[in-house]
Amino acid sequence: MITKVNHLINKLLLFIFLFPPSISGLTWVETTQEDFADGVYERNLYASHRYGGTVEFAHRFDLNNDGYLEVFTSSWDNLRVFWGQSDGFDPGNYREFSVSSRSGNSISSDLNCNGYPELITKTSSHLLIHWGQPGGPVPGNSFSISTPWTVGEASYTADLNKDGWLDIIVDRYNYSVSAIFWGDSSGYSESNRTELPMYVGCQNIEVGDFNNDNWLDILFCERDLSWLHNRIYWGSPSGYSASNQQALPTAYGVHGTSVADLNNDGYLDLVFTHWDSNVTYIYWGSSSGYSQTNMQILNSGPAYGGSACADINEDGYIDILFFRSNAIPIIYWGNETGFSDGNTTTVGICDVSTGGCIADFNYDSHLDFLLNGYYSYSYVHWGPDFNGYVSLPVSCDHHGMFFEPGNVYTREYKEDYISSVFDGGEIQLWLNISWDDSIPSGTDIIISVRTGETSSPDSTWREWVPVSNGGIIPDSLASRYIQYKAIFTYTTPAILPYLWEVRIEYGAINQLLVEPDYIDSTGTGQMKTYSIYVENQGTTEDIVEITKQWTELNWDVRIRDAISGDTLIDHNGNGIPDIDTLFPNETRYLFVDITPTDSCFAGTTDTTVIKAYFASDTATSDTCFIITKIIMDISLIIDPDQSGNILPGESINYSLDITNYGNIKDVVDVTVTQSSPSWSYDLLDSTGISLVDHNGNWAVDIDTLEPFGTSCGIVAQISSPASANPGDVDTALVLVRFTGYPDTVDTATLITTVISPDSTLVLIDPDQTGYVDAGLTKVYNLTVRNLGSLDDVIDIISNGTSPGWSCSLLDSSGNPLTDTDGDSKVDVGLVPSGGSVLMKAGITSSIAAQGGDIDSTVIWAVSSIDTSVKDNAHLVTIVNSSVAVLIEPDSADSVSPGDTVSYNLAVTNLGNSPDVIDITSSGGNADWYFEILDENGLPLEDTDSDGKLDVGPVLPNSSVNIRARVGASDSAVAGDTDIRVVYATSSNNENIYDTAMLITYITGSVTLFLIDPDYSERLEFGMVKDYALWVVLEGTARDYVEVYPAGASGGWTYELLNSGLSPLIDNNSNGMFDIGWMEPNDTVGLYIRVNAPTGMVGLDSLSLKVVINGETEVYSKEDSAVVYSYIVPALEIHNYASPFMDRTTFRFSLPEAGKVYLNVYNRLGERVRVLLSGKHYQRGIYKLPWDGRNDYSKPLAPAVYYYVFRLKRDSGREDKIIKKTAIVR
């Protein structure tokens, strides 16, 4: 059984174990049936309960799971399944199922999700299910539900209520009703059904989301009654009902329907054929639904068998194939102008067609069609011309197979599943996506994602972006909301994919960013420099602490500032290196130097984690991973070459050193090839024991030779036969190779000469090659042998030493040789016949020697008995090459869009030999210009034809000047940064290089800073008014904007609000409210909320003037807006104190100018005092004192009094207010 796959990424788990993140990530997982069910998908897909939740296909076309399509036929008393095979169908290869009543059409689905499709058939009296099993359904293993009314012939399967179980629709259940049998975990039952009014549904049922509300709708065609029409029952979350339907009138005798997007407008169109009428009705779909006013009629002829839709000629438009009554099937060709009776082709043979469908049944990439025949045969016609066919024996095949595979809109072999929208709660960085699926050969599931800031996708959302399984979601898609789309594709409907689970990992956008991650390699002991940057994406400045952790603890990791090149230091005294202060939206560049030890094996991998976090908020952090792997270096040497003399029948031993200079360890095979067949050899270890074969490959070996210059001494014993003659020479080639790397070999040549027993003969060996640093001495060990028959004093002479070099002749203890026999030549003393003496020769190189310089000194051993008898040893000494290059300085500069800037660089050869230094670069923006020139402004050339531009050859300790030019894109904006790394790489050793970082910034300016508009507006007492303002920043640079209001008046209040009507905040406590960073040509909205006084008491002013000042932090731009609000007082009067003893004050307000009258009356209505009589006042608020006396200046008695206040406005209107007060004593 296939089970869901748990993807484990071992290296990621190692990172998490070693370096746990400061903030745990989050994951959106869709894996259950309920998770998938809320997506958007059409009829061919559904969210099933398979393995807890699976998006899969609702219909099956391969009943025995052998990868081939089956066809179904329905006769009067039986069903037949014709088994598909590689070339189509064999008329005799079918399985028959007996039925008790006339059968109608059949469809196949895996109803119980056990992997074996069922065969579902509507007979005239039953809904019949033959259960799937290995090898396909068999007779007898079936289930049926009685449908009392015996006229039905159509069925359909779909998950109509999205509960994960396929439901079965039948055209007739009982008199005048169809039915939906609801699927659930226990199967199907007659009691679990919904009945829908339908008189005589026939031929076939269609399903689709016809109104694009994400619920499947059901289409029935009405056969017999002209006053009963075809019907769409609209799907909804509450199911289906008789009250939620639409009638679609056509001619009498509808007998088939098809659904597809016939005109490529994105809406499903409906085709209705008739069994006794020549016409076909097409209802065109649209945003307003279906209507008789939007319909076309074709004269297709009677089509008892209905129709099928597919793009038969592959022109991008759906064609319609009609299965006609007593006529040849006919194709109506679709194109950009639609369908017409004049654009048709008849295909196949003439028969009474009862149904059919279109598919590629023989897998030749051409569509074929099945014609269900009313008489003795049904036919499969082979495309593309449909002239050939196979006859399948039947007996009145009655609508056997109607459902063609493919997308309901296009019939393409692909389906879209679009997930629900996931809400991250805030803007998130969507990290990566992975999914579990089953994609057999020929199928695929392609997933894309899109994101946005609104809860429902709209025009502001980003376009779909394809992603890979286990891949990274681009940072550019950061948002609050996300959605994925899975496209299911297949090449044959017999083999289909499944989707089990989708996982999207995410986390809130970090306010601190460290990038990028690296995976790279270097050589043993070779430093590798990586360039990273740290960016403050927050709103406040802070010190940024930088820490490092690495897995290869004996490696050296150093962090440097990219501009100064200095090691990062601790500025705030907490012992942690840091970036002193990083401002919002500032980026700082660092170099990370990683140096492996000189003893690192090939394949050793270090994971260095650089972590940055704010000093004041350690939880705000980010990391980058730098993975460095040691590349393989294979080097194996055997030396020295030697020569010697032996007597016939004797042996000579040659001491050899085998050295592993690489960084891998391996078994070293040793073989010998001799030029003289009769001679023999033996290979001995340093103790004289013969070497053996440890690894069973038929070659003796050194079991394991460690790397990094480890040597092993062996002895090659060469033996001459007794029959050898003086002068015979044998050349033995000793070859060594690594067992695991057989192409890495080296050889030592041993030349052995047979001499006469009675002769004077001396020998000095071996010839050797060595290496030395300039000014130092290489000491060679030599053996002087007397192979003659007489004792002999052997003189030692040197010649050939290079000028400036010297040769010292030493004894075995390192002391200078002396002249022991007084012949004015130094010697090794008296050497007995057959004896040998060890000595040394010291070759000292010139202090001015360059790498690769060669000295060839010859050391002669000369017989004192016969000076013509002599031998020599050649000592070749090579000065070691020290390779080092330098390119400097790191530089930073600014440039305007479209302009260029030049950087002068010096390239220095710090080695001791001439070097052609390659100049390459990496990084930089794709749409920026970059070139490297020599100091004269001419383009660099490739002088050594290695495909790379270079300078050179550059002599040791010499420099060459070059120039790098960086050109900014015309579309660059202020704040854009181009980062280029220029590499200077030695041609003598490509692992040796240096870098210079060039950082180019785009400068910008703020050309306009504006706060608008000004306002002057009248308010009422207690009124709250929000004035809309906007802040405009124009130019080529971003800037930080702050605002602050000024102005006050008694009784008025105000506050500044953002565009969401939340209060603005002073983030940095500088007394100004922060708008924040504004991009060039950006506009930000805000409000000032003004609260007018609630009444006249304590009112000092009728107006408020607030000046909203704004300024930019970087470019120091200023502007302001003025908001002037003033009170329009209501007509009002009152007095205080009240009651009063001897004095009160009237306070009145006037909304308009006019004449004012104020009189006081006693309770009898008698006027006792005239305070105002027609005095003219302007609009405003006024006070008038009264001493409680009458018009005769006499105090009024204690009592209740009335005052009448009148205003005759200049506009002509007159108002009056009557109030009372009291005098008390």
CATH code, 1006-1127: 2.60.40.10
Contacts of 986 (CB under 8 A, 6+ apart): 883, 884, 885, 911, 915, 917, 918, 992, 993
Give me the CATH code for the 512-630 domain, please: 2.60.40.10
Q: Which of 993, 991, 975 is closest to 983 using CA atoms?
A: 993
The angle at the Cα of 359, spanning 354 to 362, to the nearest 5 degrees, equals: 115
pLDDT for res 540: 84
DSSP-assigned states of every residue in 521-568 = EE-TT--EEEEEEEEE-SSS-EEEEEEEEES-TTSEEEEEETTT-PBP
Query: pLDDT of 279-304, one tens digit each?
Result: 999 999 999 999 999 999 999 999 98
> Position of tokens 């204690």?
1198
Predicted pLDDT of residue 1071 = 83
pLDDT single digits (tens) 554-602 = 899 999 998 888 999 999 999 999 999 999 888 999 999 999 999 899 9
Pick the range with the lowest mean pLDDT from 121-125, 282-286, 559-563, 685-689. Answer: 121-125
Q: What Rg, from alpha-carbon coordinates, does the chain have?
A: 50
Copy the structure tokens of residue 1032.
């405009």
The span from the CA of 621 to the CA of 545, in Å, is 9
Average pLDDT, the chain: 89
Q: Which fold has domain 633-758?
A: Immunoglobulin-like (2.60.40)
Q: Are 1201 and 1221 in contact (CB under 8 A)?
A: yes
> Residues 157-199: pLDDT tens digits?
999 999 999 999 998 888 788 999 999 999 999 999 999 988 7
Residue 477 pLDDT exceeds 90: no
**Arithmetic mean of pLDDT, 59-71:** 95
Which DSSP state fits 1004? Answer: -
CA gap 606, 14 in Å, rounded: 12
Whole-number pLDDT of residue 150? 63
Q: Tell me the backbone φ, ψ of residue 869, rounded to 5 degrees.
A: -95, 115
- 379 pLDDT more than 60: yes
- Give the mean model confidence (pLDDT) for residues 704-718: 93
Q: What is the dihedral of CA 367, 202, 132, 379, to 10 degrees?
A: -40
The residue type found at 14 is: L
Q: What is the pLDDT of residues 206-225, one digit of tens each?
A: 999 999 999 999 999 886 55
* Residue 13, both tokens: 């788990």
- Same fold for the domain at 26-38+414-508 and the one at 760-880? no
Residues near 9 by beta carbon (within 8 Å), at least 6 away in sequence: 470
Asked whether the beta carbons of 828 and 812 are under 8 A apart, the reply is no
Contacts of 490 (CB under 8 A, 6+ apart): 413, 414, 442, 443, 444, 496, 497
- The C-alpha atoms of residue 609 and residue 116 are separated, in whole angstroms, by 51
The residue count for the chain: 1225
For residue range 314-366, what is the model confidence (pLDDT) as tens digits?
Answer: 999 999 999 998 889 999 999 999 999 999 999 998 888 888 999 999 999 99
The span from the CA of 487 to the CA of 39, in Å, is 13
Name the maximum alpha-carbon separation found in the chain. 174
Give 535 or 223, the one with higher predicted confidence: 535
Q: Which CATH architecture has domain 890-1002?
A: Sandwich (2.60)
The Cα–Cα gap between 101 and 154 comes to 14
CATH code for the part of the protein at 26-38+414-508? 2.60.120
- What pairs with residue 750 in β-bridges? 642, 732
How high is the pLDDT of residue 21? Answer: 38
φ, ψ dihedrals at 1180, nearest 5°: 155, -165
Check if the beta carbon of residue 625 is closer than 8 Å to that of residue 607. Answer: yes
**What DSSP designation does 1194 have?**
P
Q: Are 67 and 57 in contact (CB under 8 A)?
A: no
Residue 768: strand pairing partners: 875
Tokens 């042998």 locate to: 785
Would you say 957 and 915 are in contact if contact means Cβ atoms under 8 Å apart?
no
Among 60, 117, 57, 61, which Cα is nearest to 370's?
Answer: 61
Judging by DSSP bridges, how do beta strands 307-310 and 295-298 pair with one another? unpaired
Question: Which residue type is seen at 453?
Answer: E
Report whether 1088 contacts 1109 (CB < 8 A).
Answer: no
Q: Residue 161: helix, strand or coil by DSSP?
A: coil
DSSP category for residue 134 = T
What integer is the mean pLDDT of 755-760? 68
Q: What is the mean pLDDT of residues 754-770?
A: 80
- What span, in angstroms and rounded, lies between the C-alpha atoms of 341 and 820? 126
Task: Please say if the pLDDT value at position 438 is more than 70.
Answer: yes
The three-class DSSP label of residue 754 is strand
Q: Distance of alpha carbon 936 from its chain centroid, rounded? A: 44
Which amino acid is present at 2? I
CB atoms within 10 A of CB 480: 17
Q: Among all chains, which residue has been given the structure tokens 């003969």?
A: 761
C-alpha to C-alpha distances, 84 to 63, 87, 770, nearest whole angstrom: 10, 8, 78
% residues pLDDT > 70 (the chain): 96
> Residues 53-75: what's their mean pLDDT?
94
Phi, psi of 392 (to 5 degrees): -110, 120
Using alpha carbons, select from 580, 556, 553, 582 the residue that is nearest to residue 568. 580
Q: How far apart are CA 90 and CA 47, in angstroms?
A: 36
> Minimum mean pLDDT among 146-150, 471-475, 752-756: which range?
146-150
Contact assessment for residue 953 and residue 941, using Cβ atoms and an 8 Å cutoff: no
- Which one is the CATH code of 1132-1223: 3.20.20.140, 3.40.50.720, 2.60.40.4070, 3.30.413.10? 2.60.40.4070
Q: Is 37 helix (H, G, I), strand (E, B) or coil?
A: helix
Both ends of the chain: CA-CA distance in Å?
A: 106
Lowest pLDDT segment from 412-426, 695-709, 755-769, 1062-1076: 755-769
**Cβ–Cβ contacts within 10 Å for residue 166, how many?**
24
d(CA 582, CA 538): 10
Backbone CA torsion sign across 890, 893, 897, 902: negative
Spans of all domains in the chain: 26-38+414-508, 512-630, 633-758, 760-880, 890-1002, 1006-1127, 1132-1223
Nearest CA among 352, 347, 349, 353 for reference residue 366:
347
Helix H or strand E encompassing 13: helix 10-18
Query: Would the pTM of this model clear 0.85, i.e. be above it?
Result: no
From CA 654, how far away is CA 681, in angstroms rounded?
Answer: 11
Residue type at 559?
I
Indicate whether 809 pLDDT > 70. Answer: yes
369 CB contacts (<8 Å, ≥6 apart)? Answer: 308, 321, 329, 347, 348, 356, 357, 358, 359, 380, 381, 383, 386
Query: Which residues touch 944 (CB under 8 Å, ≥6 apart)?
Result: 916, 950, 952, 987
pLDDT of residue 276: 80
Name the nearest CA neighbour of 132 among 61, 74, 71. Answer: 61
Residues 1192-1202 as b/e (b if ≥16 CB within 10 A, e otherwise) read eeeebeeeebb
pLDDT band at 395 (very low <50, low <70, confident <90, very high): confident
Return the percentage of the chain with pLDDT > 90, whole number.
65
Tell me the two tokens of residue 242. Answer: 């008789």
* CA pair distance 117, 119, nearest whole angstrom: 7
CATH topology classification for 760-880? Immunoglobulin-like (2.60.40)
Task: Please determine, for residue 1099, whether its predicted confidence score (pLDDT) is greater than 60.
Answer: no
